[in-house]
Structure 1
Amino acid sequence: MLIPRLIVARPVFAWRTSSRPTLVRTRLAWDDARLRRATSIRSTAGGSLTLGYAGLPEGASHVVPFMEERAAHGAPVHRRTRTVPWTDAMEPSGVDLMTIGAPAERIRSLASAHDLLLPFRIELVVPVVPDVAAMRARVSRKERQRVARQRRDLGWALENATAAADFEWFYENVHLPTMRRRHGLATRSLEREIAFQCVFRQGFLFFLTEGRERIAGMLCLFSPRTRTLTLRLAGVTHGAQAHYGTSAFAGLYVLILEWAATHGIRAVNLSGCEPFLSKGIFQFKRKLHPRVVRPADHFGAKRLWLRVVRDTPAVRDFLVANPVIAETPGGALEAVYFHDDQRPARRDIRWEGTGLSAARMTHLDSFLQATSNGGPSFVSA
């Protein structure tokens, strides 16, 4: 019964995630061609800021939800999604702040040297050395001490589960409930069959146990070629909020890093997120001192162009509150913090320990003046 599913699952998974150069090039060419008709989204968040997105449809699940959440501050969000010709999608009418997501070459042909280009996604990768103490020391001191205390008091241990029934239990009782609790209708995940055939069968399933109880789990893909362990699915049992309070996720990360140190793993890829320092999962994983890298798959050759269409207080508030990870002219990645005379840079949103080349302070008056010169749509409110 699994053979037809296996035939379908592997090509689909490879199309989405493969780092093979030939397949990446094919995927990028296909993505560029389908932009003849692009995804166009308009979101009114919190009543004071209208966000726009144009480009590849992946932006609707990877970029737009984050920006809506950060702009709305808990208020209702009204979103309109259409598929329109590329030139229509690029029209910023009625929008305050716009992101455009497309293959890098297309973006670079449109943006000026003053515009802000971000990676479409980033990944956070922890290099592994065969030394358990050294891997444990990568964790920030406060989190490391907390996990050590919970391991001692609660008897936390790592279980490497291998049975198909273990996967089913994880998917139904750990992963799906967690995703529903955290993301609701915006939940995105790997389909069950693809997760089973392409990740579980080629990777490792770990549980954090407390006595005989499994309280959290992670499903990881293993690459024998690069000796890299990549987190694909995760969750806490039944999505229970109580497990977050005990640092169960942090404990699971620490134990997996220790396991990696003794099993010939060269790197642990903590998976990816949007290129904003204010992203909660970025700040959480930063405590493990990963390196920020572009993905090796097709996402690594895609960019986001962040365009300010209208200079309003809400736009300035958003930019200051959400420092970004941007591309330098030389191709490196750096942290960019915005500020102005009334809004200090949010240096409390940290970037250190992530391998970024630097942190750049950018005054909004200078940035907006530079990006509006020659820009077709910039309006000062």
Structure 2
Amino acid sequence: MARASFAWDNQPNPLARTLRTLFDTRVLRVARVISTTDGPGPSLGYAGPPDGITKLLKMIDRQRERMGADTLRHDRADVRAGRIFAARELPDADLVAVTGTPAQLAALPAGPALLLPYRLHALVETGDPAWRGRVSRSERQWAQPRIARQGLRIEQAYDDASFGFFFDRVHLPTMRNRHGDRARSESRLRAYEGLFRPGALLFVTNGRQRLAGALASCSADGRRLTPRLGGVLEGSAQLHSAGMLRLLYFLLLDWAERQGVARVDLSGVEAWVASGLYGYKRRFSPQLEPPPDHRANLAVWWHARRDTPQVRDFLVRNPVLERTGAGTLRAVYFHDLRRPARHDIPFACANVRERRDVDLDDFLADVPTGVDIV
């Protein structure tokens, strides 16, 4: 049952992907959530499949908290999908993200809004020996001496005891210590049945001790490796601050190349390029591609419902990736007379090079200050 549940959430089969999308966006009720703050930030709204509360809304919450505005609470209601996509029950928030299929989102007002990918996966072509040269120079100069000095290497494990060690002493403590109630993970049974049994369990070891680890899924042909769960021993703050998870990624790529794995999927990122996860994964110059599961069928309508100083601050500080009419990705940087575009926040990846700047006075022209447009 656990394996079937995992497959339902991560199935690459086209028919299964279509069915899952149909259930999530048309059959089942969708979540409508308003995230409020008592600090200097905008209220945030989300509507769509509940998966997006964890994968999208909580990430945007973190970006708002970086502005000094702590999240006060989430107010959730489950509503009929049709009422969301008819713009009848949108979240009453300053900035709103609605997740659905592109066809559903096309029925929502065209502006002021952007169409963003719901989820992207960052892939490194380890079958091409030139992958190392594409990793940022600073990352290579940081990682390689530390790996050599500490004698670090990848060790693959196959036994149940090693799975238990990883899940209980590496993964769970790390998630608990680093993310608290925002932790995103799998249950122990789903991790065992859906990842460990068909996948690969990999540890970073110095020859004496396992210091970090990752549980990865493998494609049916063995040519694609996707680390899904990870962590450091006992969730150690010392190992984390020493960059052990950064070293884990670098070692995984090296190991994958030696094992003949053509592509390492560094897993998901969202379209907000100022997030720490996006910023870190782009150091490996990955290709950004749709995920292999049903989430590839989804997009995000990113909408400014009110024009306030807090909305403008947030949009300027958080550039995004939009889908162009040609289906490519393009970075969008907002600005106005008082707030210059934050070009110091890098976005470029192997297949993402284009950007455009958007004047907020134009973007928000039809939004009365502090008043709903929809």
Query: Gapped runs of 5+ residues in structure 1?
Result: 1-7
Q: Counterpart in 2 of 1:118?
A: 116
Contact 1:173–1:237 (8 Å) recurs in 2 = yes
Shift of residue 63, structure 1, vs aligned partner:
1.2
**Secondary structure of the corresponding residue to residue 36 of structure 2:** strand
The correspondence for 2:284, drawn from 281, 284, 288, is: 288
The corresponding residue for 1:69 is 62
- CA offsets per residue over residues 243-295 of structure 1, 9 Å max, x none? 12322122211211111112221110000022110111111111111111111
Q: Would the aligned equivalents of 2:195 and 2:217 in 1 still touch at CA under 8 Å?
A: yes
Offset at residue 94 of structure 1 (A): 4.1
Task: Give the alignment partner of residue 97 of structure 1, picking from 87, 95, 98.
Answer: 95
TM-aligned CA deviation for residue 152 of structure 1: 2.4
Q: Is the 8 A contact 2:121 2:269 kept in 1?
A: yes
TM-fit CA distance, 1:210: 2.4
- Call closer, same or farther: CA 1:286–1:46 in 2, change over 3 Å: farther
CA displacement 1:45-101 (0-9 Å, x = unmatched):
244421111121112111111111222335242221111234665434742111111
Alignment match of 1:13 (pick from 6, 16, 30): 6
1:297 deviation in Å?
Answer: 0.9
Q: Distance in 1 between matches of 2:38 and 2:329?
A: 31
Q: For residues 239 and 229 of structure 2, what CA distance do their matches in structure 1 show?
A: 17
1:179 aligns with 2:172: no
**Deviation (angstroms), 1:113:** 7.5
The aligned counterpart of 1:5 is none
Q: Which of 47, 52, 64 is the equivalent residue of 1:54? A: 47
Counterpart amino acid of residue 265 in structure 1: V
1:212, 1:117 → 2: CA distance?
Answer: 50
Distance in structure 2 (CA, Å) of the matches to 1:301 and 1:104: 8
Distance 1:193 1:103 in 2: 31
Q: Which amino acid aligns with 1:278?
A: A
Deviation of 1:165 after TM superposition, in Å, equals: 0.8
Distance in 1 between the 2:291 and 2:308 partners? Answer: 34
User: How far apart are residue 211 of structure 1 and its match?
Assistant: 3.7
Amino acid at match of 2:313: D
Task: Determine whether 1:310 maps to 2:303.
Answer: no
Per-residue deviation, residues 312-368 of structure 1 (Å, max 9, x unmatched): 010011111111111112211111111111111111211123421411111111222
Structure 2 residue corresponding to 1:366, chosen from 358, 362, 365: 362
Amino acid at match of 1:41: V
Structure 2 counterparts to residues 199-348 of structure 1, below 5 A: 199-225=195-221, 227-348=223-344
Q: Is the contact made by 1:123 and 1:271 (CA closer than 8 Å) also made in structure 2?
A: yes
Which 10-residue stretch deviates more, 149-158 or 322-331? Answer: 149-158
2:30 alignment partner AA: A
125, 128, 135: which is aligned to 1:127? 125
SS state of the match for residue 197, structure 2?
helix
Any idea what SS the aligned residue of 1:310 has? coil
For residues 129-161 of structure 1, give each alpha carbon's deviation from its aligned partner in whole angstroms, at most 9, with x where no partner exists. 253xx3433321112112121122222121111
**1:3 equivalent in structure 2:** none
Name the counterpart of 2:154.
158
Is the Cα–Cα contact under 8 Å of residues 216 and 248 in structure 1 kept in the other structure?
Answer: yes
2:206 & 2:91 partners in 1: Cα distance? 55
Counterpart amino acid of residue 35 in structure 2: S
The partner residue of 2:75 within 64, 80, 86 is: 80
Q: Is the 8 A contact 1:215 1:236 kept in 2?
A: yes
**What secondary structure does 1:110 align onto?**
coil
| C-alpha distance after superposition, 1:81-131 (max 9, x if no partner) | 111234665434742111111122211232427730111111111112253
Q: Which amino acid aligns with 2:72?
A: V
Q: Which moved more, 1:54-63 or 1:162-171?
A: 54-63
Q: Is 1:107 aligned with 2:105?
A: yes
- With normalisation by structure 1, the TM-score equals 0.90
Letter in 2 for 1:275: A
Are the equivalent residues in 2 in contact too, given 1:40–1:54 (CA < 8 A)? yes
Identity %: 37
Contact 2:24 2:30 in 1 (8 A): no
Which residue does the alignment assign to 2:163? Answer: 167
Aligned to 2:139: 143
Verify the 8 A CA contact 2:323 2:330 in the aligned structure 1: yes
Query: Does 102-111 or 174-183 show the bigger shift?
Result: 102-111
Q: AA paired with 1:198? A: G
- Cα contact 2:195–2:215 (8 A) shared by 1: yes
Q: 1:186-224 deviations in whole A, cap 9, x for unaligned?
A: 222111112112211112111111241211111111113
Q: Residue 172 and residue 21 in structure 1: after superposition, are their counterparts in 2 closer, same or farther (change >3 A)? A: same
- What's the TM-score, normalizing by structure 2? 0.92
The answer (yes or no) to whether the contact 2:25–2:81 under 8 Å persists in 1 is no
